[in-house]
Amino acid sequence: MMNCLGGLCAAMLLGLAVPALAQTWQVDAAHSTLTFTNTYQNVEYTGQFRRFDADINYDPGDITHAKFDVSVDITSLDTRNSERDHTALGTNFFDATKFPKAHFVTTAFRQAAGGKVIAEGVLTLRGVSKPVALTVTFAPHGDTATLDVTAPLKRLDFGIGAGQWADPSMIGNGVTVHGHLLLRKGNPQGGS
């Protein structure tokens, strides 16, 4: 701050005046996907949730103030197999009538080895809340950015397909979730 010019200093001071001023992004839903891979009868398949809302606050230079808040419409599940989708939304699995939404909110961001960023948070799925860590890859391109997150989950941690469907040779327990978001610069909270 010692060598700064007047205007820049003012901007910095203004910035400091508003706490937790991370960059807010708007999600371009048409170019964003929330997919997952799992196995069925030991054959890998990919599914996706076509509808989700994500509030993304992220500044790669200041990850301590970053925050993700994501709500997923479970009924928008699509695994390119109508019987499987129908079954998956039923009471033995997602039980979408009772639990139509999944929710993920971050609690802390930290820098990990190899320049990776880890977002720790809590996922609430089928009424069960569990800590989940996302690996975050953020790539800014001017006024847009791509945000890729991956997280390994265990379906049985959330009671999805418990009981007679627990056998992992029928449906794999491990599920890798991958979010690919195209972000556009939005207005920072508190205005500019």
Partner 1 sequence: MPLRSNEQGWGALVRAFHWLIAVLIVAQGVIGLSMVQMGLTPAKVRVFALHKSIGMTILALVLLRIAWRLTERRPADPSAMPRWQRRAAHALHLALYVLILAIPLSGWWFNSTANAPLVWFGWFDIPGLTGGYDPVWKPRALLLHQTLFWILVALLAGHVGAALWHHFRERDDVLRRMTIGPRKQNGEAR
The footprint of partner 1 (CB under 8 A) covers 40-43, 45, 79-84, 87, 164-165, 167, 170
Q: Taking the complex as a whole, how short is the minimal distance between the CB of residue 50 and partner 1, in angstroms?
A: 14
Q: Taking the complex as a whole, how short is the minimal distance between the CB of residue 96 and partner 1, in angstroms?
A: 16
* Nearer to partner 1 (CB atom), residue 20 or residue 170: 170
Q: Taking the complex as a whole, how short is the minimal distance between the CB of residue 117 and partner 1, in angstroms?
A: 34
- Residue 165 makes CB contacts below 8 A (sequence gap 6+) with 92, 93, 171
* Nearer to partner 1 (CB atom), residue 31 or residue 80: 80
* Nearer to partner 1 (CB atom), residue 99 or residue 165: 165
The total of other beta-carbon atoms located within 10 Å of residue 17's CB is 9
Tokens of 74: 């479970």
* Nearer to partner 1 (CB atom), residue 70 or residue 171: 171
Cα angle, residue 172 at apex, residues 170 and 178 outer, rounded to 5°: 145
SS3 (DSSP) at 118:
strand
CB 149 within 8 A of CB 167: no
- Among residues 179, 70, 55, the alpha carbon closest in space to that of 125 is found at 70
* Nearer to partner 1 (CB atom), residue 80 or residue 184: 80
Q: Taking the complex as a whole, how short is the minimal distance between the CB of residue 37 and partner 1, in angstroms?
A: 14
Q: Taking the complex as a whole, how short is the minimal distance between the CB of residue 153 and partner 1, in angstroms?
A: 21
Helix (H) or strand (E) holding 190: none
Q: Look up tokens 């569990």; give the residue.
A: 130
